[in-house]
Amino acid sequence: MKKYPWGDYLALLIASLLFGTMHFGGVKYTLLASVAGIFYGLIYQKTKSIEASIAAHFSLNLAHFTALTYPSADDVFFEAMG
């Protein structure tokens, strides 16, 4: 897409929409994942390293898992008690 002045932006948009689609979980979640895809794509464009984008994706997933969805001991106990 280098022969078009806007080619990099179009490629980033298409890749981000595909990323969002692959993370489908409803319209809001898909749009959020697409925005994250733009972020990961910008990281790749800046660094020219897919590993940097993968590290950012892993870091965001880890932060989400530990801060937002990881059950506390109390939650596990009370859920087990019914």
Give a yes or no: residue 75 inside a domain: yes
Q: Judge whether 34 lies within some domain.
A: yes
Task: Report the pLDDT value the prediction gives residue 75, as an integer from 0 to 100.
Answer: 60
Residue 2 lies in a domain: no
Is residue 26 assigned to a domain?
A: yes
Q: Of the candidates 25, 7, 5, which has an alpha carbon nearest to the alpha carbon of residue 15?
A: 7
- Is 22 within the bounds of a domain? yes
Instruction: Give me the tens of pLDDT residue by residue for the chain, a chain 82 residues long.
Output: 567 888 888 999 999 999 999 988 888 889 999 999 999 999 999 999 999 999 999 999 888 888 876 555 556 555 666 5
The total of structural domains in the chain comes to 1
Q: Which is nearest to 54 in space by CA: 36, 75, 67? A: 36
What torsion do the CA atoms of 42, 47, 53, 55 make, to the nearest 10 degrees?
Answer: -140
CA–CA dist 48, 45 (Å, integer): 5
Cβ partners under 8 Å of residue 41, min gap 6: 12, 15, 16, 53
The pLDDT of residue 29 is 87
Domain assignment present for residue 61? The answer is yes
Domain residues for 43? 7-81
Give the pLDDT confidence score for residue 26 in this predicted structure.
85
